Structure 1
Amino acid sequence: MKRRTFVAATTSLIVAPWINRASAQQPVTINVMAYTGLFQDRYTAAVVEPFMRANPGIRVNYSPLPNSAAMIGQLRAQRAAPQVDVVILDVTVAKVGTDEGIFSRLDAAAIPEINELYPNARFPNVGGVAVTFDNLVMIYNTDAVKPPPTSLLDMATPGMRGRVAIPGLPDIQGMSLVMILDKLNGGPGVEGRFAKGIEAMAPIAPNVQTWEPRPDVYAPIINGQAAIGIGWNARAQVNADTSNGKLAALIPKEGTVFQINVINQVQGAPQAQAAQRFISYALSAPAQKAFTESMFYAPTNAKAQIAPSAIDRTAVKFLDRVVPVDWIAVAGVRDQIMDQWRRRVIPLSR
């Protein structure tokens, strides 16, 4: 080999790896879409910021939206040119997004933490996997409601006229309430489109002040604008602390249902590898522990070692009171339930 050719070849062998390493060290930004407000604040502190400290080459831009319906709407608008890499939203909407090709299927070979999850954190027809478990609770103003309520039907008493706040359908808090009432009244469940639950809303609906509490259901109950309603345990627990006990939460005697948030990778994500790295971290035992202890979502990673003081404020100790729900089956009849809600429930509150 001529000396000039040898030098050029040798130089390329030395320089090329350096170029690759330098390129790999260039910071990338991933867009993570998830819930706004309290979730954003606590999730950023417990998961996003520690992830960025552990992965200085990846920056996370948190894109907040108020609910899963708003998220899927934005993702549909971006379908031709995705701008988001990772999305955290409700499992029923994740199923819709998977069916529409918006979410890709997560692979345990690339994200080994998937193998550490509880069995009910994985779904055969959903691309993502569960990242949090939550549950429905009754919430009330401790000054306005004495003695404390025990039953969902306490929202139907004459003294609660115009004082009830319920996030109505399509919000799944309203959907969860209907499903619990359906079970209570001997309904056939998803096969009957929860008709018995829709029926059972008749005495509650006239007392409802708003089906769209703003900015969320917790604020109007804390400030006394409303007295009683339903919410999610995780947010209720934090609001109970920050309101100095003005708001309290409990599982009603009729029981509760789990709400499952799923973490998904967007099909065609601009930063797919970095997105998978973030998902791995979000599902890891340390991240799950940190978020549960910060906001009282039950963990989905079976290896997460949660402090008893935190796990006792989740539904884990009340599993015998959880009404089983096939959320994927519910997603298939969501439109029919919505139709019944609009025709038979909403008019009663006017």
Structure 2
Amino acid sequence: MTIDRRLFIAGLAASALTALPAFAQDTSLSGEITLAAYSGVFQDNYTKAVVEPFMKRFPNIRVNYYPAQSSAQMLGTLRAQKGSPQVDVALLDVSIARVATDEELFVPLEAANVPNLASLHDLATIEGVAGRGVTFDHLTLIYNTKAVSPAPTSWNDLWNPRFKGKFVMPGVPDIQGTALTVIANAMAGGGDPARGLDKGFARMVELAPLVQSWDPKPDAYTLVINGTADVGVGWNARSQFYKDQSKGLLDVVLPKEGSVFQINTINLVAGSKNKKAAEAFIDYALGPEAQKAFTETMFYAPTNKKAEIGKEALDRTAAGVMERMIRVDWIALAKLRDKLTEQWRRQVLPASR
């Protein structure tokens, strides 16, 4: 039997391509870096979607994951190590990243060493923050699918008297309470949140009598799943996680009025002993491959405009409706934190009783 030479050569080429790795390894850099980032389910998913693929791409670089429960905890660690940093890269909330930048714990990222900076959304660059946005999360409305039908479509649905005593959410000073107040302010025709949220607070005063708890324990997701509450608010990434965990008993809505982003930033620690390896990791984390992988794993919206997200994941994030997001200057709001907390205590909490 004879074999057509062209088919034979084509077959060999196809086999060779199949045998090649999906990416080219880079052995030009080596070293060991420590990444400080969130613990729990975030750590599990970020390790699988970003850290492990990075180490396959750069086999001579080892990434140690230092887990922390909060951005504030990471800031404390960075302050304690300022004289001799043990952390090279820190992933934390934008407002805390601003504090760390002001204290010169972070250094600015350089486009020459982090080329993926050029492909980021404008919202990923925050004035006064040395790093860049690495994930976008947004506030969502969550509900128990057995108790609530039809599904809510608007933030205004939270003000429905039918939910009296069956609505839970963290209040101010928790950022979720602030975020819903910002949304309520926008719906009421309020102006720039950094100039005040009086119209938003007036709406929250109207909502207060319906609220079962401003301090849901263990959390709003669990209370909605177990039927203690019918509706609540939460961050999209965790809401989507619990939707899957509960097999759809909890469902997630991005209301028609839009929402607000919470931004996590990735930062280069000042005095890193492994600067080149750290910059390589930051560039990879901001690149389309890592952004796509983490979005499709945990449903944070990508900050890289070139990330090609699959439709299923795209429909479960705000990536496809960026124009509906209400712009919030979290740095400016952080300066009003004490004032907003006092306004909450004087106006909203008394209306709950």
TM-score tier, shorter chain, comes to: 0.7 to 0.9
Tell me if 1:133 matches 2:136: yes
Q: Could you tell me which residue of structure 2 aligns to residue 168 of structure 1?
A: 171
Opposite residue 198 of structure 2, the aligned amino acid is A
8 Å contact from structure 2 (residues 37, 91) kept in 1: yes
Tell me if 1:88 matches 2:52: no
Deviates more, 1:180-189 or 1:39-48: 180-189
Opposite residue 328 of structure 2, the aligned amino acid is V
Opposite residue 79 of structure 2, the aligned amino acid is R
Deviation at 1:270, TM superposition (A): 4.2
CA distance in 2, matches of 1:171, 1:280: 31
Tell me if 1:109 matches 2:112: yes
Q: Could you tell me which residue of structure 2 aligns to residue 331 of structure 1?
A: 334
CA distance in 2, matches of 1:181, 1:219: 25
227, 230, 236: which one aligns with 1:233: 236
8 Å contact from structure 2 (residues 185, 199) kept in 1: yes
Tell me if 1:217 matches 2:220: yes
CA distance in 2, matches of 1:335, 1:269: 34
Deviation at 1:263, TM superposition (A): 0.6
CA distance in 2, matches of 1:277, 1:320: 31
CA distance in 2, matches of 1:304, 1:321: 19
Two-structure CA RMSD over aligned residues (Å): 2.5
Q: 1:90 to 1:312 in 2, by over 3 A?
A: same
CA distance in 2, matches of 1:170, 1:269: 33
58, 62, 65: which one aligns with 1:62: 65
8 Å contact from structure 1 (residues 293, 307) kept in 2: yes
Deviation at 1:336, TM superposition (A): 2.3
Q: Could you tell me which residue of structure 1 aligns to residue 284 of structure 2?
A: 281
Opposite residue 192 of structure 2, the aligned amino acid is G
8 Å contact from structure 2 (residues 29, 58) kept in 1: no
CA distance in 2, matches of 1:217, 1:76: 32
8 Å contact from structure 2 (residues 172, 344) kept in 1: yes
Deviation at 1:333, TM superposition (A): 2.5
Q: Secondary structure of 1:202's partner? A: helix
Deviation at 1:320, TM superposition (A): 4.1
Q: Could you tell me which residue of structure 2 aligns to residue 299 of structure 1?
A: 302
Opposite residue 99 of structure 1, the aligned amino acid is D
TM-score, L = length of structure 1 = 0.84
Map 1:160-199 → 2, pairs under 5 A: 160-199=163-202
8 Å contact from structure 1 (residues 32, 84) kept in 2: yes
Opposite residue 240 of structure 1, the aligned amino acid is K
Q: 1:75 to 1:205 in 2, by over 3 A?
A: farther
CA distance in 2, matches of 1:29, 1:223: 44
Q: Secondary structure of 2:237's partner? A: helix
Q: 1:72 to 1:196 in 2, by over 3 A?
A: farther
Structure 1 residue runs of 4 or more that deviate by more than 6 Å after TM superposition: 24-27
Tell me if 1:315 matches 2:326: no
Opposite residue 42 of structure 2, the aligned amino acid is F
8 Å contact from structure 1 (residues 133, 299) kept in 2: yes
Deviates more, 1:182-191 or 1:25-34: 25-34
Tell me if 1:255 matches 2:258: yes
Aligned residues: 327
Q: 1:336 to 1:268 in 2, by over 3 A?
A: farther
Query: What is the identity percentage for the equivalent residue pairs of Structure 1 and Structure 2?
Result: 51
Q: Could you tell me which residue of structure 2 aligns to residue 268 of structure 1?
A: 271
CA distance in 2, matches of 1:79, 1:343: 39
Q: 1:268 to 1:340 in 2, by over 3 A?
A: farther
Name stretches of at least 5 consecutive residues in structure 1 with no aligned partner: 1-23
